[in-house]
């Protein structure tokens, strides 16, 4: 067996060195640098790359489809305008046995928020469970508070109920899933 490619499955399964975070069998999340890494795209058999950023396109690889969602990472950006479009696209790629990589610049806010919307719509997960799951796959996720508000509205639209709410904190308005950690931060 070719030693380099033989080593990939073990090397890339480790979360700490695995550039693309695996969210479902057909959805991965990463930062912009990893999204341009041919070896990582190849190793995870990515067929569609969804780029949620506004910077200038750098690399395109043949046989991969590219989708561009031009959104900045600010609380007032209307990411929710793209919740259905992106979730539907990830779902259709999945139905065609493909795999989607969703990325923004850091793989922390924009792309993570879109993952949460997808998991709610197509995996019937509550927002709270979707967040717990994605965070377990990629501990650095942290959608901005405007995106949280949009996700909370989306959860209500889908399920008629909410599992996350915005609360006041010493750091301003935060989703209640961050309450514990903010309490600890303030304590130190």
Ligand X SMILES: *[C@@H]1O[C@H](CO)[C@@H](O)[C@H](O)[C@H]1NC(C)=O
Which residues are marked as active site? 104
* Residue closer to ligand X, measured from CB, 59 or 96: 59
Which of 33, 45, 74, 136 is in the footprint of ligand X by CB under 6 A?
A: 33
Measured CA to CA, the distance from residue 26 to residue 22 in angstroms comes to 8
Determine if 34 is a binding residue for ligand X (CB under 6 A).
yes
Q: How many residues sit in the footprint of ligand X (CB under 6 A)?
A: 16
Binding mask 69-108 toward ligand X (x if CB under 6 A, else -) reads -------------------------------------x--
CB 87 within 8 A of CB 121: yes
Q: Which residues of 98-123 are buried (b: 16+ CB within 10 A; e: fewer)?
A: bbbbbbbbbbbbbbbbbbbbbbbbee
Q: What are phi and psi of 72, to 5 degrees?
A: -95, 160
The window from 5-13, 47-55, 129-137, 178-186 that contacts ligand X (CB under 6 A) reads 47-55
Task: List C-alpha distances in Å: 94 to 27, 33, 148.
Answer: 8, 24, 26
* Residue closer to ligand X, measured from CB, 54 or 174: 54
- Which residues are near ligand X by CB under 6 A? 19, 31-36, 51, 53-58, 68, 106
């Amino acid at each position: 067996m070719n030693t380099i490619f033989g080593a990939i499955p073990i090397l890339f399964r480790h979360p700490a060195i695995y550039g693309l975070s695996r969210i479902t069998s057909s959805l991965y999340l990463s930062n912009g640098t990893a999204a341009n890494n041919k070896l990582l795209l190849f190793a995870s058999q990515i067929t569609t790359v969804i780029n949620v950023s506004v910077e200038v396109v750098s690399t395109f690889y043949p046989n991969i489809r590219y989708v561009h969602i031009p959104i900045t990472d600010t609380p007032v950006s209307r990411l929710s305008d793209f919740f259905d479009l992106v979730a539907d696209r990830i779902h259709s790629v999945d139905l065609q046995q493909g795999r989607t990589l969703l990325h923004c610049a850091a793989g922390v806010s924009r792309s993570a928020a879109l993952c949460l919307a997808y998991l709610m719509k197509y995996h019937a997960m509550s927002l709270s469970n979707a967040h717990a799951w994605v965070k377990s796959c990629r501990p650095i996720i942290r959608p901005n508070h405007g995106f949280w508000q949009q996700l909370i509205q989306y959860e209500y639209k889908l399920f008629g109920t909410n599992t996350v709410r915005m609360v006041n904190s010493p750091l301003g308005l935060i989703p209640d899933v961050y309450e514990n950690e903010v309490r600890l931060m303030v304590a130190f």
